[in-house]
Amino acid sequence: MTTLPHHPSRPPVSEPFGRLPDGTEVRRWWLENGGTRLAVLSHGGIVQSLETPDRDGRRANVSLGFRGLDDYLGSRAYFGALVGRYGNRIAHGWFDLDGTRHFLSVASGEHTLHGGALGFDRRNWTVHGFARGTDVGLVLTLTSPHGDMGFPGTLDVRVVYTLTEGGDWRIDYRAVTDRPTVVNLTSHVYWNLAGESAGSVDGHELSIAASRTTPVGTGLIPTGRLAPVAGTPFDFRTARAIGPGLSADDPQLRHAGGYDHNWVLDKGVTPTPEPAATLYEPVSGRMLRIATTEPGVQFYSGNFLDGTSTGSGGRPYRRGDGLCLETQHFPDSPHQPEFPGTVLRPGETYRSTTVHSFTTL
């Protein structure tokens, strides 16, 4: 295994990317450090591209995304987005907290998905660049008012994207509230380590440090049960190719049209990031290692990509052309008292960190 070649860091720079319908300017920020190059939009905190070398030193974009702002505004695929207030699903568009029922925006049939119709992926974040020591990065801030998409409390959010000297991409999430609420932030990057326009990710080899999943029922809502992965297509404790499992005759795969499930990480919630998942693409030799403080990771195999979205490389995205590994608390936790809690109260600080490390083999 080799680390990425060292390249000197460059201070973040930004440029106009377009305007929202209300006239708000969207800017694109460029970061480069340790062989990794990142393009981030102020709109949605979107990672438009992430470039990293293969084993021969040839750099390519390994994240799915669009060329222009209008494509992002017209899509509900969450390409590269910073997701909140609550990543993943909350059943039936409501939750009870301290004796009060809160009704939420519904964006997935009868359920709330990724914070509602105007979640954080649809907001223009305030962004500032920084260069600190050997690191470069961006500070993204957003204030979500009380009642936003039905969620209680004014939530002040601060997310830091850092590129380290070694080429790691680190995300630090922080939030505070003035009333009790629920919070679950994540990143919705679609990965294809062969390159953004390379096609199917079936040949990627995945490992997830998890002995259990949270099975789902109608609407991909967890049943509340924790199911062992042993002897099922969900067993990624040892690295294996993704494709064979997708063809298995399994009721959970039929529910989702592929993988779209939460894995219960054996490590649980941790104060510092610990290994969660590894993704390897054998042709390019690129490897992505993910460490997180979160207790779960949602592996989504791009089941709803249908060829109607044309990516930045000019190729339509079809089913399975990218995959997501979203670090998170579990879906529908507000309705599942046995799951790790997602309630945030005044005086507390929500904190979460995920680190993406790139190497070659």
Q: Which residues are the active-site residues?
A: 188, 326
Q: Give the Cα separation of 166 and 326 in Å (integer).
A: 22
Nearest one of 303, 62, 353, 9 to 187, comparing CA atoms? 353
- 355, 292 in Cβ contact below 8 A? yes
Tokens 């039929």 correspond to what residue? 254
Name which of 216, 4, 247 is nearest 89 in CA terms.
216
Q: How do 169-177 and 210-214 pair as beta strands?
A: unpaired
Amino acid of residue 289 = R
316 near 308, Cβ under 8 Å?
yes
Q: What are phi and psi of 231, to 5 degrees?
A: 75, 15
Q: How far apart are CA 354 and CA 248, in angstroms?
A: 31
Q: How far apart are CA 37 and CA 156, in angstroms?
A: 28
| Nearest of 137, 119, 132 to residue 29 by alpha carbon | 137
How far apart CA 353 and CA 293 sit, in angstroms, is 6
d(CA 41, CA 28): 4
Closest by CA to 119, choosing from 132, 106, 110, is: 106
Of 291, 307, 49, 24, nearest to 192 (Cα)?
A: 49
